[in-house]
Amino acid sequence: MANAGLHRPDMVILDLEDSVAPSEKDKARFLVRNALRSVDFFDAERCVRINQGALGVEDLAMVVPQFPDVILVPKCEDADTVRSIADAIQKVEHEHHLSGETLILPIIESALGVVNAYAIASSSHRVCALAIGLEDYTADIGVERTEEGRESFYARMSVMTNAKAVGVQALDSVWSDVEDLDGLRRSTLEAKALGFDGKGCIHPRQIAVVHDAFKPTTAEVEKASQIVAAAEAARKSGLGVVSLGSKMIDAPVILRAHRILRMATFGVREEDPN
């Protein structure tokens, strides 16, 4: 944990769930609490993955007073789970006179969670994103996870679409083979093309690959700049129609162009993904 921020991730997840043996839960809580108190994670958001049920409530009592940015709710299957976590967070915040800014990130890892994705995303104002966990999801539906991913395409699109419908971010599943960076790159480029806003990593060496894949290309930035310039020129001229060359440009295209330019502030990828 002490070196996690050195790799410049967007978020660091401190895990109290799957990676911790049942007999070590109490010790892990103290380690995470102390890390939140003393470790410099640089600009990374600080997220804690809690346990399910009563153990998760105990986790919250320990970590929320240390100002984590986000609480990750594993294996989330319904809105009631999120609401109960939100209530527990509010209780701890009230007891410690905190401002109430702790966010919630549910990770959907089952068929039932996919079906309830919209209800989960809209269950609390604290929900900042939805994530999909494909290792558990494919196990739940009884299939092998493949690199091609046909078996999980519906689940990914459902989570992404419902997240966007509510207005929160959508985060794609981790790539489990830490040696296959080419596969990770292909998977990340696909996630970007499908509408995801980010992707989980399980090893520091994956971070740069994911960051690079989500950067807009030089060609995308040039086109977006032209679209925004054309829209601004039309606005100044009092024109209701925006055109670029022989093509008409509508509002969604302009919004997408602005988003590309915002993403470009984090860097530009030289090569085209195709």
Check which CATH number belongs to the domain holding 79 and give it. 3.20.20.60
Better pLDDT: 151 or 18: 151
Question: Is 154 within a domain?
Answer: yes
| pLDDT higher than threshold 50 for residue 89 | yes
Q: What confidence score (pLDDT) does residue 177 get? A: 96
Based on the fold, state whether residues 146 and 164 are members of the same structural domain: yes
Residue 271 lies in a domain: no
Average pLDDT over residues 58-76: 97
Whether residues 208 and 229 share a domain: the answer is no
Is the same domain home to 203 and 257? Answer: no
- Report long-range pairs for 121-126 (Cβ below 8 Å, ≥24 apart): 121/162, 121/163, 121/165, 121/166, 121/168, 122/79, 122/166, 123/79, 123/80, 123/82, 123/83, 123/86, 124/82, 124/83, 124/86, 126/86, 126/89, 126/102
Non-local CB neighbours of 97 within 8 Å, separated by 6+ positions: none
Position 271 pLDDT exceeds 80: no
Decide: helix, strand or coil at residue 249: strand
Please report whether residue 232 resides in a domain.
yes
92 has a pLDDT exceeding 60: yes
pTM as predicted: 0.89
Range of 95-104, 109-118, 209-218, 249-258 with top mean pLDDT: 109-118
Average pLDDT for the chain? 94
Q: Is 48 helix (H, G, I), strand (E, B) or coil?
A: strand
- Of 191, 214, 237, the last residue of a domain is 214
Q: What is the pLDDT of residues 172-200, one digit of tens each?
A: 999 999 999 999 999 999 999 999 999 99
Say whether both 25 and 143 belong to one domain: yes
- Reading the block at residue 161, the tokens are 């679409």
Are 67 and 102 within one domain?
A: yes
pLDDT band at residue 2 using 50, 70 and 90 as cut-offs: confident
Say if residue 226 is in the same domain as residue 171: no
In the structure, what pLDDT confidence band is assigned to residue 235 with cuts at 50, 70 and 90?
Answer: confident
> Is the residue at 236 inside a domain?
yes
SS3 (DSSP) at 162: helix
**Could you tell me if residue 225 is inside a domain?**
yes
pLDDT band at 272; cut points 50, 70, 90: low
Q: Is residue 65 part of a domain?
A: yes
pLDDT reading at 67 higher than 80: yes
pLDDT at 5: 82
Query: According to DSSP H, which parts of 97-250 are helical?
Result: 111-115, 117-121, 134-141, 153-166, 181-194, 207-214, 218-236
152: its two tokens: 């999980």
Q: Is the same domain home to 196 and 225?
A: no
Q: How many domains does the chain have?
A: 2
Q: How far apart are CA 56 and CA 79, in angstroms?
A: 16
Banded model confidence at residue 78, pLDDT cuts 50, 70, 90: very high
Q: Taking a C-beta distance cutoff of 8 angstroms, is the pair 104, 73 a contact?
A: yes
- Identify whether residues 12 and 68 lie together within a single domain: yes
pLDDT band of 273, cuts 50, 70, 90: very low
Same-domain status, 208 and 235: no
* Domain co-membership, 72 together with 187: yes
Distance CA 241, CA 267 (A): 31
**Residue 17 to residues 51, 67, 102, 170, 223, Cα–Cα distance (Å):** 5, 19, 19, 22, 44
Do 154 and 253 share a domain, yes or no?
no
Domain containing 181 equals 4-214
- On the question of pLDDT at 274 being above 70, the answer is no
Given a contact cutoff of 8 angstroms between Cβ atoms, the answer to whether 220 and 192 are in contact is no
Residue 128 counted as domain residue: yes
Is 180 part of a structural domain of the chain?
Answer: yes
pLDDT average, residue stretch 197-221: 95
The verdict on 112 and 52 lying in the same domain is yes
